[in-house]
Amino acid sequence: MSRWPLGLGAASGVGVGAAYWTFMSPYAQLLGPFPYRSRTGRPEVALTFDDGPNEPYTSQIADYLDGKGIRATFFQVGRAVRAHPDTTTRLARAGHVIGHHSDTHQFTRCLQRDSLGEELAAGLTTFAELDLHPALYRPPWLLRIPALFPLLREHGLQPVSGAFCHPLEVLQRSGRRIARGALTRSRPGAIVIFHDGFDGHPGNRAETVGAVKIVVETLERRGCRFTTVDDLLGIPAYNPAGRSRTPSDPVGAPNDDRLSSAATHIPADTGRTRAAP
Ligand SMILES: [Zn+2]
């Protein structure tokens, strides 16, 4: 075999890796601030749940967390919220934070500015019908295109990353295995990503429910406490009703100094900033 095809293959491999890192890595900050943890120094972790509501699993997780007095952050998909509005309302009333995770969770709709803007607006409309006005947004697959960041500013949304609990969570093979992955990522200040749904569709998440219980009980024994993403990063969880902020807005806008601090992992000590849902 000649060296030329090998060279091409290596070059294309490097290109794919660089593209993945730039556009989909939980940790890359090249396109804009994308906080994935806080360097609080305190033993606290934010548990987050993407892709729901998805019953009965979302409520099983909520029942368990509520029984422990733990609040978490749920990044929900508009179409799943429309299927289970009572679940979203129940979570918010219990003090969990509701974040935005697109309206349909369709990959191709996250690739272009126009459809991405429609995803943001449609999701916000669905949340507003429940009197919820999220300020936190987690992109599906953590996919960021350059247009995402100005769109988020237009809609008063702050992007939030995190660490996936386990790369094989989607296969739902073993709660213990998922929990082991999550525990290795649960350092102080970590934002850990679980999935209570499947891209906004129904599906079995029983192993994730089991994993959450193992993670909580193990971390509690280690002296860890649990908090929500807004509290961990010192940023607002919600916007005032009836208002999408613009980049020129001075208070709590996504280019706020506090967000820059969060993105660069400077400890956030601004205390509670979360408005009532
Ligand atoms: Zn998702």
Separation of CA 107 and ligand 1 centre (Å): 10
User: What CATH number is given to the structural domain containing 246?
Assistant: 3.20.20.370
Compute the Cα dihedral for 33, 266, 225, 237 and give only its sign: negative
Residues near ligand 1 ion, CB 5 Å cutoff = 50-51, 140
* Residue among 112, 142, 176, 187 nearest 29 (CA): 142
Residue 57 lies in domain: 44-263
Identify whether 39 is part of a domain.
no
Identify whether 29 is part of a domain.
no
Residue 163 φ then ψ, to 5°: -110, 125
Question: With left for phi above 0 and alpha for psi between -120 and 50, is residue 189 left, alpha or beta?
Answer: left
Separation of CA 40 and ligand 1 centre (Å): 26
Separation of CA 194 and ligand 1 centre (Å): 10
Identify whether 275 is part of a domain.
no
Identify whether 227 is part of a domain.
yes
Separation of CA 140 and ligand 1 centre (Å): 4
Taking the model in full, what pTM does it have? 0.85
pLDDT per residue as tens, the chain (277 positions): 445 566 666 667 777 888 887 888 898 888 889 999 998 889 999 999 999 999 999 999 999 999 999 999 999 999 999 999 999 999 999 999 999 999 999 999 999 999 999 999 999 999 999 999 999 999 999 999 999 999 999 999 999 999 999 999 999 989 999 999 999 999 999 999 999 999 999 999 999 999 999 999 999 999 999 999 999 999 999 999 876 544 444 333 333 333 433 433 323 333 333 444 4
Q: For 147-181, what is each residue's pLDDT tens digit?
A: 999 999 999 999 999 999 999 999 998 999 999 99
Q: How many domains does the chain have?
A: 1
